[in-house]
């Protein structure tokens, strides 16, 4: 046709290839990201399932337990303080409806141990709060080494948050494994819990250390007046983790 220039076939092929380049790069980067996240999750799940408690658990200055979903934490921490693995026990993230006596009963410590050596933190509402209150408690008591008790799936993020809050604190982890031994890839609720925790773990790594949360005073043992105690059934935790 008059006035129109025909494109050479090779030129059109080059144009198609140049348009497909960004798309191919996007697909490649998406696949790389997905593969990295999937591989990271598999490594995370394998690590969590393989966490064990040291056979010769060293004594520490204090024992800290972070309450939350997952049974056995309070009992394990109570046994450690009764066996002399720490001077004091901090129970962090306690529901405000629980008194010291309630916590002592749930953790299995004696009344004498509860009265002399158990501190309760009502302030922490999540893992970052647990870390902040734990560090403030350790600093107030001059502790350099603590034993941290929490669920196995929660331990990696707990250690990250503690390192953000106070990198110099020596932490010996005691991870409580679930009583259900079903493999996570066959147990949908456990898979979802691990996947959600893995996402939170990555966010904790990416967020880094907060710049404005230092210097909080710890919230120690402070049993509530009877008027403030709920009459509803109580649970030993309030953490959303």
Identify the CATH number of the domain in which residue 92 sits. Answer: 3.40.50
Say whether pLDDT at 68 is over 80.
no
Whether 30 is in a domain gets the answer: no
Q: Which of 44-58, 169-183, 199-213 has the lowest mean pLDDT?
A: 199-213
Total domains, the chain: 1
Whether 24 is in a domain gets the answer: no
Which residues have CB under 8 Å from 239's CB, separation 6+? 66, 67, 68, 69, 93, 124, 125, 126, 127, 130
**C-alpha distances in angstroms, 1 versus 5, 12, 115?**
8, 19, 99
Say whether pLDDT at 135 is over 80.
yes
Say whether pLDDT at 188 is over 60.
yes
Say whether pLDDT at 187 is over 80.
yes
The pTM for the full model equals: 0.74
Q: Which of 5-9, 31-35, 67-71, 96-100 has the lowest mean pLDDT?
A: 5-9
Whether 224 is in a domain gets the answer: yes
Whether 167 is in a domain gets the answer: yes
CA–CA distance, 225 with 221 (Å, rounded to integer): 13
Whether 145 is in a domain gets the answer: yes
**C-alpha distances in angstroms, 33 versus 43, 94, 198, 201, 203?**
15, 38, 15, 17, 15
Q: Are 63 and 89 in contact (CB under 8 A)?
A: yes
Of 118, 136, 53, 94, nearest to 236 by C-alpha is 94
Say whether pLDDT at 89 is over 60.
yes
Whether 8 is in a domain gets the answer: no
User: What pLDDT score was predicted for residue 215?
Assistant: 39
Whether 22 is in a domain gets the answer: no
Whether 20 is in a domain gets the answer: no
Average pLDDT of span 109-115: 94
User: What pLDDT score was predicted for residue 140?
Assistant: 94
Residues in the chain: 241
User: What pLDDT score was predicted for residue 30?
Assistant: 77
Q: Report the share of the chain in percent with pLDDT over 70.
A: 75
Domain that holds residue 206: 62-228
User: What pLDDT score was predicted for residue 156?
Assistant: 94
Say whether pLDDT at 179 is over 80.
no
Of 150, 180, 166, 172, nearest to 76 by C-alpha is 150
User: What pLDDT score was predicted for residue 228?
Assistant: 27
CA–CA distance, 64 with 153 (Å, rounded to integer): 17
Please tell me whether residue 129 adopts helix, strand or coil conformation.
Answer: helix
């Amino acid at each position: 046709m008059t006035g129109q220039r025909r494109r050479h076939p090779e030129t059109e092929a080059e144009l198609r290839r140049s348009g497909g380049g960004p798309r191919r790069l996007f697909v490649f980067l998406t696949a790389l990201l997905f593969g990295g996240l999937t591989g990271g999750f598999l490594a995370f799940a394998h690590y969590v399932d393989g966490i064990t408690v040291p056979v010769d658990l060293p004594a520490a200055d204090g024992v800290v337990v972070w309450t939350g979903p997952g049974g056995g934490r309070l009992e394990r921490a109570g046994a450690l303080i009764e066996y002399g693995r720490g001077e004091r026990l901090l129970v962090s993230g306690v529901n405000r409806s629980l008194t010291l006596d309630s916590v002592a009963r749930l953790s299995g410590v004696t009344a004498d141990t509860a009265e002399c050596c158990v501190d309760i933190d009502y302030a922490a509402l999540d893992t970052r709060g647990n870390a902040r209150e734990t560090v403030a408690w350790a600093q107030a008591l001059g502790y350099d080494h603590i034993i941290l008790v929490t669920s196995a799936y929660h331990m990696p993020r707990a250690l990250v948050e503690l390192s953000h809050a106070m990198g110099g604190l020596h932490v010996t982890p005691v991870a409580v494994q679930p009583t259900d031994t079903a493999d996570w890839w066959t147990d949908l609720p456990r898979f979802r819990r691990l996947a959600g925790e893995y996402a939170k773990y990555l966010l904790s790594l990416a967020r880094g250390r907060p710049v404005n949360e230092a210097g909080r005073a710890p919230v120690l043992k402070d049993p509530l007046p009877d008027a403030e105690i709920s009459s509803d059934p109580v649970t030993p935790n309030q953490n959303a983790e």
